[in-house]
Amino acid sequence: MKKALLLGAALNLVFAGAAFADITIGVAGPMTGQYASFGEQLKIGAEQAVKDINAAGGVNGEKLKLSIGDDACDPKQAVAVANNFASEGVKFVAGHFCSGSSIPASQVYADEQIVQISPASTNPDFTDKRPGPGIFRVCGRDDQQGKVAGAYIAKHFPDAKVAILNDKTAYGKGLADQTEKAYKAAGGKPALVEAYTAGEKDYTSLVTKMKQAGIGLVYIGGYHTEAGLIARQMREQGMKTRIMSGDALVTDEYWAITGKAGQGTLMTFSPDPRKNEEAAPVVAALKKEGKTAEGYVLYTYAAIQVWADAVKQAKSTDFDPVVKALDSGTFNTVIGSLKFNDKGDVSLPGYVVYEWKDGKYDYVENEEGK
């Protein structure tokens, strides 16, 4: 009888442990390397979301546990991260950052039935060619972003000679191509279209070429590190050329690289989520801890919010019911109320134009979205 009681108690502990085990989720991005500032944004947003959700009782009575994957914005490393998440039993991944990482990793997540919601990957192929129904994003797309940028350049710089550059990455080239397409559709004709290699330090020859061509505005499809160096090297050659780029400049590191050379830089990004009333408590909590809510911090937080709400609706972390909830639900998040279309793209306001001034970015004055 005593043995039976002990066995029963042991079984109760096993079942109780199974019922209230932690749910492991992942966040993936460039935690190291030249784009590590963006990985830090994703990490900050994910950690705060997990902290807040757990403080509120978790998800269906279970606490979240966060696993962090470093892909360094390298496609092969991204696949390795995805496979490692699968081996850990991860149910959901907020990531990746670079489109060139999200796209190959998405095949692993589709095969392993892991839900993936990217906070930041904007290349259209990520959802247009998604390998399974569990692939989503809470950010916009390059064709939306490029349309805004191309139209803006045509309207505000009608007499300028325009150069369009790209760094050959899935993100940078995709964004530059979409901007060029929209610029041409608005009646513009680029004076120069060039590619450069990401990771280099000296862009003197490219800058000299633009100077000789009399470029008045340069659009850079790429990341903040190279854009910042190009900005500095243009100013060193006495060029007053205006710079415009995309959402990869939403990091204080851009200004850290450029200093005053970055003054007046234009960029496209979604309406600033830090200004949302729903985001105020999160922004305040981060500020109290000395952390930033810039860039993609709140987008990562929102990705986890959405998944957690879908799990609550589904009453399960199983792939099929969660995907069904994601497909059909409307979710209130720190970046606004959102829902997904049949591609996994999000219904949120489009892109607006920002300007870097004195080390900070904000909406361009008198532009829609302010």
**CA angle at residue 296 from 87 to 341, to 5 degrees?**
75
Closest CA to 235 of 259, 214, 270, 252: 259
Rounded-to-integer distance, Cα 95 and Cα 30, Å: 10
| % of the chain at pLDDT higher than 90 | 91
Q: What pLDDT score does 350 carry?
A: 83
Residue 144 phi/psi, 5-degree rounding, is -75, -45
Q: What pLDDT score does 20 carry?
A: 53
Where do the domains of the chain lie?
2-140+275-338, 143-269+351-363
Q: What is the DSSP string of 255-276?
A: HHHHGGGGTT-EEEESS-GGG-
Contact 359, 281 (CB under 8 A): no
Q: What pLDDT score does 14 carry?
A: 40
What class has domain 2-140+275-338?
A: alpha beta
Same fold, 2-140+275-338 and 143-269+351-363: yes
Rounded-to-integer distance, Cα 198 and Cα 225, Å: 9
For residue 93, give both structure tokens: 């991944």
Residue 100 phi/psi, 5-degree rounding, is -65, -15
User: pLDDT tens digits for 79-128?
Assistant: 999 999 999 999 999 999 999 999 999 999 999 999 999 999 999 999 99
Residue 280 phi/psi, 5-degree rounding, is -55, -45
Q: What pLDDT score does 365 carry?
A: 66
User: pLDDT tens digits for 204-221?
Assistant: 999 999 999 999 999 999
Contact 214, 241 (CB under 8 A): no
Q: What pLDDT score does 331 carry?
A: 97
CB-based contacts of 149: which residues, under 8 Å, 6+ apart?
179, 182, 183, 219, 244, 246, 268, 351, 353
Q: Which fold has domain 143-269+351-363?
A: Rossmann fold (3.40.50)
Residue 282 binned pLDDT confidence (cut-offs 50, 70, 90): very high
